[in-house]
Structure 1
């Protein structure tokens, strides 16, 4: 099956992406000190349901996991980098929260993530979030017809590494379409001019995951899903679904 999408298919993915953007916006508006991660999961579930879409994460069961994912969103707090389960944890003042969300609409998937602080945040955490968002923006800018995947990877990770941040080892973005995770892989660290050539119609999820302290290592929590930084430092995650077009990169997961 071709990895390339037609303009009509990209338009359908744009509608799925819009649902994801609305869900993330609603979660961010509801996130506050004293609110549980489960309550935020319910907020996202309602937005997706009301849009006539289906959550992409709920009951997702890759081969490496012994149990399916139990939430509509991934809600990762502080040293949890990604894949945090939206459980009964109640948000505290100063928490750094990363929310990842995916949805299917008419058989097409959108996937995006945001990070923000709850209550009175630490300036160091905000700098981390800003650096993660900047890495995402650089990766999107590099997603041009004729560039190589290594150009995208270097744009994401090169400056982040030089600034002293770690990037979650063994994880990066991915192709997306009828399935949430598809070919090709989109690494966050790479060399310019290397890898597959980017073509018009390719749709990818670009998602830097930065960690304070410069270390890339992680470990699995006891829930088998949550990935935590090995150094115990905080992390941030930003993601957009992006179509590569002749006119330049098109972000599909905007409101």
Structure 2
């Protein structure tokens, strides 16, 4: 396992994680550290265990053994209140944007503050949202270059613009760690590059930690200062991007064995 910079203690740590779905051994001793302010790309063929790993990091997948630590505190099998607090520190950017179609861009960004407010959804509904929350949501839209689209609904925005709204919503949450799950998979190459440039710039400016799954190897090497490669439920590559040969990345997708699976109803309800 690659050791983090001693000057940057890990904000997120997975230690010897094993996950099974019945007889299916999906994660087989996965370990890695993510330092504060570090941006890493997670690579691997479909079915290698990436999705299960991401669900494990926020407690949605049941761990057979091993643990996940966030800011030095173990969140695996933690009480629900501890897990809820941990999830507030994890911001997500998804492949399919997950915006509410009936709401404006500004209203969608407001939902990023939901975990910080006592009354949840009601606290961030536009009619009830605090003035400071509404102002901060506009600031987040400005950060992604969409202040002039604040009143537009998702259907009125391009795919790249919708993903920018999703990034603004993540910013509104004020997380410490960002999990970006194939954030450009639904975008054309030009829009995808622009979104990655924006995401990396914001993460660096805010001093956030980023774990981003991608399938575009050229972009992974360009943007990720570190590459974590998975194959058949294990981490088989973990190194600084400049020192990795392209053949090592290609090998992640050769002879791949599918071990990943959809979450069980019990996981989804966790």
TM-score, with normalisation over the residues of structure 1? 0.30
The structure with the greater share of residues assigned to helix is: 2
Higher relative contact order (CA 8 A, sep 6+): 2
TM-score, with normalisation over the residues of structure 2? 0.29
